[in-house]
Amino acid sequence: MALPFPFPAIVGQDEMKQALLIAAVDPGIGGVLVFGDRGTGKSTAVRALAALLPPMQVVADCPYHCDPAAVRADCPAGCGQAAVNGARRSRRVPVPVVDLPLGATEDRVVGALDLERALTRGEKAFEPGLLARAHRGFLYIDEVNLLEDHLVDLLLDVAASGENLVEREGMSVRHPARFVLIGSGNPEEGELRPQLLDRFGLSVEVTTPSDLPTRIEVVRRREAFERDPPAFTAAWQRATARLRRQITTARAQLPAVEVGDRAYEQAAQLCIGLGTDGLRGELTLIRAARVLAALAGAATVTEAQLRQIAPSALRHRLRRNPLDEAGSSVRVERALQDMFGA
Amino acid sequence: MSGPDQAAAPAIAEPALVAALVALDPIGSGGVVLRAAAGPVRERWLAMMRDLLPPGQPVRRVPLGIADDRLLGGLDLVATLAAGRPILARGLLAEADGCLLLLAMAERLSAATALKLAAVLDTGLVRLERDGLMDCRPARLGLVALDEGAGEDEQVPAALQDRLAFRLDLTGYGWQAPLGEPPAAVALAAARAALPTVAAEDAIIEALCAAAWHLGIGSLRPPLLALRVARGLAALAGRSSVSTADAAVAARLVLAPRATALPVEADADATPPEPPAPPDQPPDQPPPAEDAADPAEEPVPTPPLEELILAAAAAAIPPGLLAQLQAAPGQPSRARSAGRSSTAQRAGSRGRPAGTRPGLPGANARLDLLATLRAAAPWQRLRQPASATGPAASRPRIQVRKADLRVTRYRQRAQTTTIFVVDASGSAALHRLAEAKGAIELLLADCYVRRDQVALLAFRGQGAELLLPPTRSLVRAKRSLACLPGGGGTPLAAGIDAAAALAEAIRRKGETPVLILLTDGRANIARAGQPGRALAEAHALAAAQAVRAAGLTTLLVDTAPQPRPPTRALAAAMAARYLALPYADAQALSQAVRASAPSARAAALA
């Protein structure tokens, strides 16, 4: 397997990196959508994430990555019974970052009858799919706007419920599938359905870096990486480890981060001002701001965090006037200006 | 395509040089987009490149309509049935690991296939999650995308163009035209061995990035590819590090064909890179024509290296680009983006698998073998003893009954494209053009809600003009409407003809066209452009009858201040719904269109 590009070595694209870090600290944030130009390192960043995340504990041999500290009684692999008998071993594995390849078929995504066992032994057994593999990790869909509609519907349903329910080929299987959905795409290839947009917690727009030094730095690092991946990775080892520690610390601190009444009020005002549909905007805004505070080592959520995360948390929730040429980002920026001053 | 070589370049003609560079590093460079009609010139070029490849390096051809199970891999039907357990058949991409792939008719490639190839090019792996199988295999590839496109609208999908280093255009070469003398295969082998050790100084990297930036290339892949090519050139020349000349040639080969803007002449205060964001560049600074014509002209105070490379690239930019940029200010690479959007449509409008269900295969349903096997699998034990009469060898291993059969349904989305045909003649402009524009804007918002596509045709003066090819980008539609000028005669027949032709093209793509014609009906220019009201009206009527014969769904909006019977007759001749718009009642218009759209849907389903 090829080495991934080290996460901290990605030049610029701070908004995207910030969103991915937030999702790494708090998987409950509800997915990240990365939309933008070609050749801006979308896929590189997501693939780099896998190497960055601290490993997790799972029950050995459980295809559903059961957490040894909180085994579910209804795990189809029988972890529940094993827990009662006290016969379970656990091991550390890297957090799964599952890549949903284009052209994946439904049976591999949700899981299906294990054909081999059925044909050779006449047994009816369930073979878990990609959703099971992504449990407690990340599911990455490149070119999410080109995914076939029936697969998109299915993914949305599972991502929202945290559970994969399979009813096919005479089988009825239910297993947990909580994952952070990361979608990336290029708006020129096609737009995303509005229902799908709203399901993503954070939405990031990536653009080509527009200053020459940054661009030169990108090319230089990429070139260095391609010439000698192991050496480049080793050179960034310390930075990667530092970031990993930051994630671990932030996870531990997150429950203690306070949100004052003032912050709630500001978040609500912001959403009212922008006319977002529903309350998901406020909820995500507060939640992401808490994570940012935890990442920064702050004890309370302040205006600074709200301001920093508001574009990512809100821009895809605005009711869009199709003929308005000013993008949603501009509208969020304007609302922030109005509220917090320049 | 390129002018005479710069002094710095090696004396190899471009086709031969590209062939050598692709053969030198097929995987690292990604490959080449080769624009040429199928014919002897292309064959000669391919043969030349093949001879330069290392011995034993295979070249494989990928047909256009390759199915996913052959491309990526899938269930091997025969082996699976014989063995009684699932057997994986490797896909073409995995089989071709280390190969150079020839993509036939790459300009017709669907966006979905292009993105699958792009993912493989990016990762060097082909990942399979299909048919109950999971697999991941190395697939390091180079591509030769054979582009037989004729116009600007037919282009290799942008996702692939971005990842292939070279673009070679052989359309101008006669069948005997020399393609150049490539370096000997031995020299190439030596260069291939030396390639990994070739170093590039920071200054070279900076210069290539800067050149890409000044040429309005947004993506960061082209400068990386240019750097790789520069290292290849250095290896070919037997140098251990990239020279300025190598970088200049690389810029000419890799960066110049992608330019969307001509380099703006650097100011005297040199150092700060001042370019604005690429979309703004052309309107802000209309590129000076002399710059392209005479790249050798040297602005002294700027860093010489960057200038040199930029000049080399600028010299290779086709002269047509300048005209294109000037013709469409504010919309850089408009033609190219039109090509992109049309490929996206092609991909979206084909039938998509919409799940499987029990049933017999037929015209609209294909047998889903895997699902059928799955359905049959649990019953095998029960079925075996019942039919175990014959000798074991002749007994089928797997028994499939009719009830097990599963079919895949395909769903074809009935995509509607609304074609607005706007009368922008003097008579209409005088009265109602602004109002008509307002009404169309309202309709555009409707189209957005229905996710329809829109196209905009205007006719005035001597003929009709397609202002906006079918698109889903409402912003573009609005913009082209806003720039719609008015004045001149009323070539109604030409307008209707053009609309009918466009509708026919849309229908060929499997989509449903809806025509909305806004006119005051006062035709005064006939088909051939000759003035005269009687002849013009006769021609308009004939054109209208052709629309009727084609069975197009049409709405005619009469924008005359006093609706006249001839316009109504025209509507009847084309079997159009007729709507007089005596007042600027955009709401009524919008409702009328909404009412005609469902009938179009019904027509699509029938």
Give yes or no: residues A114 and A257 share one domain. no
Q: Which pLDDT score is estimated for A251? A: 92
Using the predicted structure, report yes or no on whether residue B352 has a pLDDT greater than 90.
no
Classify residue B11 as exposed, middle or buried by CB count within 10 Å of its CB (0-12, 13-18, 19+).
exposed
Position A148 in a domain: yes
Give yes or no: residues A269 and A162 share one domain. no
Measured CA angle at B599 (ends B596, B603), to 5 deg: 140
Q: Give CA–CA dist B100/B53, Å, rounded.
A: 9
CA distance A225 to chain B (A): 12
pLDDT digits (tens, 9 = 90+) for B442-455: 777 777 666 677 88
CA distance A207 to chain B (A): 9
pLDDT digits (tens, 9 = 90+) for B390-427: 555 455 667 777 778 887 766 655 677 888 888 888 77
Position A19 in a domain: no
Chain A residues inside the 8 Å CB shell of B480: none
Tell me if A179 sits within 8 A of A135, measured CB to CB. yes
Chain A residues inside the 8 Å CB shell of B85: 115-116, 119-120
Classify residue B444 as exposed, middle or buried by CB count within 10 Å of its CB (0-12, 13-18, 19+).
buried
**Helix/strand/coil for B557:** strand
Domain count, chain A: 2
Using the predicted structure, report yes or no on whether residue A157 has a pLDDT greater than 50.
yes
Chain A residues inside the 8 Å CB shell of B86: 115-116, 119
Give yes or no: residues A164 and A272 share one domain. no
Position A1 in a domain: no
Beta bridge partners of B421: B457, B517
Position A68 in a domain: no
Chain A residues inside the 8 Å CB shell of B378: 113, 118, 122, 124, 169-170
pLDDT band, very low/low/confident/very high, at B361 (cuts 50, 70, 90): low
Give yes or no: residues A48 and A193 share one domain. yes
CA-only gyration radius of chain A, Å: 21
User: In whole angstroms, what separates CA B339 from the centre of its chain?
Assistant: 4
Dump the DSSP string for A52-106. HSPPEEEETT-TT---GGG--TT-TTSHHHHHHHT---EEEEPPPEEEE-TT--H
User: In whole angstroms, what separates CA B192 from the centre of its chain?
Assistant: 33
Tell me if A32 sits within 8 A of A182, measured CB to CB. yes
**Helix/strand/coil for B307:** helix
Last residue of a domain, one of A207, A222, A237: A207
Give yes or no: residues A138 and A49 share one domain. yes
Using the predicted structure, report yes or no on whether residue B465 has a pLDDT greater than 60.
yes
* CATH code, domain carrying A131: 3.40.50.300
Q: Which pLDDT score is estimated for B385? A: 62
Q: Give CA–CA dist B310/B292, Å, rounded.
A: 11
Across the interface, whether the CB atoms of A115 and B223 are under 8 A apart is answered no
Q: Give CA–CA dist A119/B342, Å, rounded.
A: 45
Across the interface, whether the CB atoms of A37 and B398 are under 8 A apart is answered no
Tell me if A338 sits within 8 A of A273, measured CB to CB. yes
pTM of this prediction?
A: 0.67
Position A156 in a domain: yes
* CATH code, domain carrying A257: 1.10.8.80
Q: The dihedral of CA A315, A320, A321, A322: what is its sign?
A: positive
Dump the DSSP string for B97-156. TT-EEEETTGGG--HHHHHHHHHHHHHSEEEEEETTEEEEEE---EEEEEE---STT---
Indicate which of A10, A13, A44, A105 best probes the interface with B, i.e. most B CBs within 10 Å of its own CB. A105
Give the count of Cβ contacts less than 8 A between chain A and B: 180
Give yes or no: residues A184 and A275 share one domain. no
Across the interface, whether the CB atoms of A113 and B85 are under 8 A apart is answered no
More confident site: A333 or B8: A333
What is the rounded (10 degree) CA torsion for B254, B256, B261, B265? 120
Tell me if B557 sits within 8 A of B579, measured CB to CB. yes
pLDDT band, very low/low/confident/very high, at A20 (cuts 50, 70, 90): very high
Across the interface, whether the CB atoms of A191 and B220 are under 8 A apart is answered no
Q: Choosing from A245, A280, A290, A315, which is the catalytic residue?
A: A280
Task: Give the closest of B123, B340, B445 to A188, CB-based.
Answer: B340
Q: What are phi and psi of A177, to 5 degrees?
A: -145, 80
Position A318 in a domain: yes
Helix H or strand E segment including A333:
helix A328-340
Position A224 in a domain: no
Give yes or no: residues A203 and A285 share one domain. no
**Helix/strand/coil for B561:** coil
Across the interface, whether the CB atoms of A105 and B224 are under 8 A apart is answered no
| Overall size of chain A counted in residues | 342
Give yes or no: residues A123 and A260 share one domain. no
Reply yes or no on whether A280 is catalytic.
yes
Cα A67 to Cα A27, A179, B3: the distances in Å are 15, 14, 66
Across the interface, whether the CB atoms of A223 and B200 are under 8 A apart is answered yes
Give yes or no: residues A264 and A196 share one domain. no
Domain that holds residue A117: 27-55+94-207
pLDDT digits (tens, 9 = 90+) for B11-44: 678 888 899 998 888 888 889 999 888 888 888 8
Across the interface, whether the CB atoms of A39 and B219 are under 8 A apart is answered yes
- For helices A280-296 and A14-25, the axis angle rounded to 10 degrees is 90
**Helix/strand/coil for A325:** coil
pLDDT digits (tens, 9 = 90+) for B314-323: 666 555 544 4
Percent of chain B with pLDDT over 70: 70
Position A70 in a domain: no
Strand duo B553-558 + B577-580: pairing:
parallel
**What is the maximum span of chain B, computed from C-alpha positions, in angstroms?**
95
> What domains sit in chain B, N to C, each tagged with a CATH number?
14-326 (3.40.50.300), 365-385+400-410 (no CATH), 416-605 (3.40.50.410)
Q: What are phi and psi of B471, to 5 degrees?
A: -150, 160
Last residue of a domain, one of A154, A175, A207: A207
